[in-house]
Amino acid sequence: MGFIGWLIVGLIAGALARLLVPGRQPMGIFMTMVLGLIGSFVGGAISTFLFHYDPSQGFHTGGIIMSTIGAVIVLAIYLSIAHRRAM
């Protein structure tokens, strides 16, 4: 998958994570994409650890699910850090 494909997956995973996590998330489309990309790496690491998935197999539907789960985890961490800084 090329760079544009990674950006699209990151945007989708970040947007899904923002829909799943309740509350206000003050970030734009660029931060949503970054969130999704980082979440993709986290989800890929979880997938490799739990299911022994080989990332060289290419894109599959489970990848977007694990990317979204990773993005939810990253978003929760981001929001907790941002909330602490606001206090």
pLDDT, one tens digit per residue, over 21-80 is 888 888 888 888 888 888 888 887 787 788 776 656 666 667 778 888 888 999 999 888
Q: What is the pLDDT of residue 45?
A: 79
The residue with greater pLDDT, 18 or 51, is: 18
The whole domain housing 63 covers: 3-86
Q: What is the pLDDT of residue 40?
A: 82
- Angle at the Cα of 86 (from 81 to 87), degrees rounded to 5? 100
What is the C-alpha to C-alpha distance for residues 8 and 79, in angstroms, rounded to an integer? 23
**Could you tell me if 10 and 68 are in contact, meaning their C-beta atoms sit under 8 angstroms apart?**
no
On whether the pTM is more than 0.95, the answer is: no
Give the count of domains, the chain: 1
Q: What is the pLDDT of residue 56?
A: 64
- Give SS3 for 59: coil
What is the C-alpha to C-alpha distance for residues 82 and 61, in angstroms, rounded to an integer? 31
Structure token pair of residue 30: 């660029």
Q: Give the type of residue at 87.
A: M
